[in-house]
Amino acid sequence: MSRGVLAVGAYAPASRVPAAAFEDAWGRFDAPGVETTAVPDADEDALTMSVEAARRALSAADADGATLDALAFATTTPPLAEEDLTPRLGSYLGAPADVAGRTYGGHTRAGVDALLDALGREGTALVVAADCPAGEPDDPREHAAGAGAAALLVGPDAPATVVETAAATDPRPGTRFRRAGDDRLDGLDAGRYDRAAFVEPVEAAVDGLDDADVDAVAVQAPDGRLPYRADIDDEAVAAVETVSELGDTAAASVPLGLARAFEAGHERTLAVGWGSGAGAVAARIEGAAPVEASLSADRELDYAAYLRRRGDVVGDVPDGGAAHVSVPSWRRSLASRHRHEAGRCPDCGAVAFPPAGACPDCRSPADFEPVEPARTGTVEAATTIGEGGAPPEFAATQARQGAFGVAIVAFDAGNEAVSVPVQVVGEAAVGDRVRAVPRRIYVEEGVPRYGLKALPVGD
């Protein structure tokens, strides 16, 4: 077997808003073929979703972040317009310091581009595509806007390989764009012109392949109708589409379709990425890689809750100031923020969190040896911070997301356990089991700070 996809991870936020909610609110719904869309929590973004997907891809391959040679991050909605986010992604995954970071963006084909580039290079690469597009509340692109992430681990001796590719471009400005400095998608909605901008490059790319006889087609899906406008096998598209359930996942759209295809055991799959501008690339894949996916929903939002989540009906950050931790101080703790890294005292063997200062057991000024605790732990103490009760630095998140729990959670670490104060995604009670999940903690001085929160996982 040659170089290809070793494993895939997929993740989508657990909340859904149904098309009916838009119809009730607006009297219409402008994203044909979309039944529900995935809605990120207020503290989720492309980076946190990429960590979720990446963790699952590594798990599906039984691999470790430390083995990565390259890390590619593809998104049209980076939490920062400029700054390489692959170092923080790598930190979450425990990637080595010499990992080669690549960032792709600017159009929805970015995920497929990143995958094809990684296939063309040496070593083990993790390609992560994550997206959460947004538009104005009455814009068709907002009605379609979903969220999700997929990560593909690429390396030698892979069960799924790309056997041929073809590309096509056609200058078609204005069909889907975002102005510099704006976080909302726009488009001219020029009917036939828009359709042609999608259909013609897609068909041209597929036509460029020697053989397009496949069981499944993971094709870019800006909404639930456009993919079927192209002259490709509708059933093969429908077999692996995610847009009807997750909405438009932009750069993650085709990678998520590949996850679906591999999960279903399809051995002949087409990946067709499209980006506005416009250009398309088609890749024919043989074989299937193992998949670990969390794409299911666990709650449905009404339209008011959806608007709150999007921040559309929430005011600015309140006065009062935020708890200040300087960025350099924050950086010192990144291993603990991203992986709950604790430390073993070399003198007495006790495990401390955070791994700094005197040993809590023997009081010696310890030079702690790193210990990485389990990701699942047990709540030792808990309460819920009700609506309106959050400290100022969490007020905006609470306005969007609602009440949240705060807990002290014991995580196994070596022969002991460490106790970590964590925010709960939702609520938890003493004795509950929770999993540490990547979330944005807060934004201070314009710099998003990421860490781990606790997601209840039942017994």
Partner 1 sequence: MRDAYVVGAGQSAYGSFPDESYRSLFRTAVEAAVDSVDHGIDLGAVDEAYVGTLGVGGRQIGLSAPAVTEHVGLDGTPATRVENACAASGYAVRQAVMAVRSGMADVVLAGGVEVMTDLSGDTVRYWLGVSGETEWERLSGTTFAGVYAQMASAHMREHGTTTDQLSAVAVKNHDNGARNPKAQLDFTCTLEEATAAPTVADPLTLYHCCPTTDGAAAVLVASEDVVDDYAADPVRVAGVGAAADRVGLFRRDSYTSIPASRRAADAAYDAAGVGPADLDFAEVHDCFAIAELLAYEDLRFCERGAAGPYVESGATEPDGELPVNTSGGLKSKGHPIGATGAGQVVEAFDQLTGRAGDRGLEAPAVGLTHNVGGSGGAAVVHVLEREDRRRAGP
Residues that bind partner 1 (CB under 8 A): 318-325, 329, 333, 353-354, 360, 380-386, 389-395, 404, 406-408, 419-423, 429-431, 441-442, 449, 451
CB of 110 to partner 1, least distance (A): 32
Closest listed residue to residue 427, CA positions, set 453, 448, 394: 453
Distance (Å, whole) CA 317 – CA 329: 23
Distance CA 182, CA 194 (A): 22
275, β-bridge pairs: 279
**Least CB distance to partner 1 at residue 448 (A):** 13
Closest to 3 measured CA to CA, from 129, 123, 165, 152: 123
Nearest distance, CB of residue 389 and partner 1, angstroms: 6
Nearest Cα residue to 248 out of 320, 162, 185, 173: 185
What CA–CA distances, in Å, run from 91 to 79, 194, 334? 17, 40, 8
Strand partners, 439: 451
Nearer to partner 1 among residue 174 and residue 311 (C-beta) = 311
What does the block give as tokens for 68? 């990565």
CB of 319 to partner 1, least distance (A): 5
End-to-end CA distance of the chain: 41
Q: Which residues of 108-140 are buried (b: 16+ CB within 10 A; e: fewer)?
A: bbbbbbbbbbbbeeeebbbbbbbbbbbbebebb
Task: Specify which residues 406 forms β-bridges with.
Answer: 383, 423
Q: Which is nearer to partner 1, 209 or 454 (CB)?
A: 454
Nearer to partner 1, 364 or 383 (CB): 383
* Least distance to partner 1, CB of residue 418, Å: 9
Q: Is 144 helix (H, G, I), strand (E, B) or coil?
A: helix
Residue 324 CB contacts under 8 Å (≥ 6 apart), including other chains:
444
How many whole angstroms separate alpha carbon 274 and alpha carbon 110? 9
Q: Which residue, 306 or 404, has its beta carbon nearer to partner 1?
A: 404
Residue 93: CB minimum distance to partner 1, A: 22
Running DSSP on this structure, what letter comes out for residue 185?
B
**Closer CB to partner 1, residue 67 or residue 378?**
378
Which residue, 366 or 390, is less far from partner 1 as judged by CB?
390
Residue with smaller CB distance to partner 1, 1 or 356? 356
What's the min distance (Å) between Cβ of 87 and partner 1? 21
Nearer to partner 1, 20 or 325 (CB): 325
Give the nearest distance from C-beta 363 to partner 1 in angstroms: 11
